[in-house]
A and B are shown apart, each in its own frame.
Chain A
Amino acid sequence: MKRHPGPLDFLVVEDEPLISMDIELMVEDAGHRVMATAVALDEVEAIPDDQTPNVALVDMHLARGSFGLEVSDYIRARWPDTIIVFVTANAREIPDDFAGAHGLISKPFSSAGFMAAMQYLEEGICDPPPVSPQPGSFVASKTFAESWER
């Protein structure tokens, strides 16, 4: 069942400007839009109310001492339908249940790995369940599969 026509709106939360820009361009290469970027929790809080991301890509260690887990909690509270994917070199800081988030792309990611993860995410969100096998670059939490049942 098709439930989202795409393209998807992405929120990129990453404090390293070059990596953020790189991610932004790859998301666009995959045919989606980046509606906002943020380097810390306060910038996510400042996103206007008329904007709702479909997907949030969230780093763990952010600017001004803010952390990916609190950003994830905030996003879940404000936009309950948003798919949250951690993009981080600190995978071991993510709790086993992903704290309610949907997946993980480990850094350093490869171009191919990142694009494969984009493809899988798109299939899982726009027309679940995904037809592609889950790529090695993407770890899904059980919350992601649960989102297909909604």
Chain B
Amino acid sequence: MIITDPKLPDNPIVFANEAFQKLTGYPRDELLGRNCRFLQGEDTDPDAVDAIRRAIARGEDIALDLLNYRKDGSAFWNALYLSPVKDDQGRIQFFFASQLDVTARIDAHSRVARQKERVEAEVEKRTADLRAALEAQKLLLHEVDHRVKNNMTMIGSILRLQMREIEDPRTVERLRAMMERIDALATVHRRLYQSDNVVRFDIGAYAANLAGDLVQAADDRDIGLVADLKRAEVSPGQASALGLIVNEILTNTIRHSFRPGDSGQIGIHARTEGGRVRLVISDDSTGGTFGDQPPSGLGGIIINRLSRQVATEVTWATDASGTRVDLSINVEAP
């Protein structure tokens, strides 16, 4: 600490303790009689100096961090506290000033500030990089999507053209089933890439979409469609397999629950229950031959094998009101 006397010209130091001598490196005889400003140097903040000057002129307290210089020229941060000492009449007798070397604290501060700046700059750069990568990925996704769509269209066209050349009705029937499977996959792909979000796939909306196409194509049967669709999202990895399963169930129902000339109704109900998605495909036909059981042949194999692949239980039930196929899909399966 030091004491200065404002009654003397230029408010000189009139007392300096040991600690102050140690802190500044000046012996007492080099301190006494001098104004404190000699401790300031090149990088001392002029605003801080002004603030001190104003406080002294007004006879007020002030506390601030000030960059000071030792006798050897090294700088240190001085946590300065300065206050006037007044007599009974309120006149200022002395100024009392205490100093504390807070260089370590200030350095840590500015180190943290510098580090923060560096991190922020780095984050900004990486964000820009990520944004560019995301853009590139989106472009690539669109490009791949476009090519897949064009190729699937081509596969469909080739199959349809080939089918027109075949006369044997049994072969035509099988090719048609093949065609429908390709169409089902195409529908899955189309729905999956409808938006930029290829993260979830709604199996209920897909089933209703496909059923709409299929009943309209079955123009020798008058089949209505009733859909009750709540959110029923499965992962994109399950989409193709489930799409094929639903296609087999729907084509089997339309073809075998109903006979040509029949009229009736197919219901599609979808909802999410805990970690499972439930999809129910029902019909109100009682006259069909094989509509109440899993299809035979490749259709049955597809349902059987693919349902295991995508953690799905398929159950068939028939009563007086018709047939229902119940799919319980574990959407949290790895």
Contacts and interface: CB of A to CB of B under 8 A. Distances in A.
Interface of A: 16, 18-19, 21-23, 25-26, 89-90, 92, 106-113, 115-116, 119, 132-133, 135-137
Contacts of A108: 149, 152-153, 155-156, 183, 186, 189-190
A12 to B, nearest CB: 12
Contact of A111 (B150, B183, B190, B212): B183
A13 to B, nearest CB: 15
Contact residues on B (Cβ < 8 Å of other chain), bracket: 20 to 34
Among A106, A110, A135, the most chain B Cβ lie within 10 Å of the Cβ of: A110
B161 A25 contact: yes
Contacts of B150: 16, 89, 107
Given A16-B154, A89-B150, A108-B152, A21 B161 contact: yes
Interface of B: 142, 145-146, 149-150, 152-158, 160-161, 164, 179-180, 183-184, 186-187, 189-190, 208-209, 212-214, 216-217
Contacts of B213: 110, 112-113, 116, 135-137
A136 B186 CA distance: 13
B249 to A, nearest CB: 15
B149 to A, nearest CB: 4
Contacts of B217: 111-112, 115-116
Contacts of A26: 160
A107 B153 CA distance: 6
Among A106, A109, A112, A135, the most chain B Cβ lie within 10 Å of the Cβ of: A112
Given A108-B186, A112-B217, A19 B142 contact: no
Given A16-B153, A16-B154, A89-B146, 19 more contacts: A22-B156, A25-B164, A90-B146, A107-B149, A108-B152, A108-B153, A108-B183, A108-B186, A108-B189, A110-B180, A110-B187, A111-B179, A111-B217, A112-B216, A113-B187, A132-B216, A135-B213, A135-B216, A137-B213
A133 B217 CA distance: 14
Nearest to A17: B157
12 contacts: A19-B154, A22-B157, A23-B157, A25-B160, A110-B180, A110-B187, A111-B156, A111-B179, A113-B187, A115-B216, A132-B216, A133-B212
B156 A110 contact: yes
A40 to B, nearest CB: 17
B111 to A, nearest CB: 50
Contact of B142 (A16, A23, A92, A116): A92
A51 B166 CA distance: 34
A3 B241 CA distance: 45
A107 B149 CA distance: 6
A132 to B, nearest CB: 7
A119 B219 CA distance: 11
Given A112-B183, A116-B212, A135-B212, A18 B161 contact: yes
B217 to A, nearest CB: 4
A119 B216 contact: yes
Contacts of B208: 136
Contacts of B183: 108, 110-113
A5 B152 CA distance: 35
Contacts of B157: 16, 18-19, 21-23
Contacts of B189: 108
A115 B208 CA distance: 17
Nearest to B150: A89
Given A18-B161, A21-B161, A109 B156 contact: yes
A18 B158 contact: yes
A107 B155 CA distance: 12
A112 B215 CA distance: 8
Contacts of B160: 22, 25-26, 111
Given A89-B149, A108-B156, A116 B216 contact: yes
A7 B146 CA distance: 33
Contact of B190 (A19, A23, A106, A112): A106
Among A22, A89, A115, the most chain B Cβ lie within 10 Å of the Cβ of: A89
Contacts of A25: 160-161, 164
Contacts of A22: 156-157, 160-161
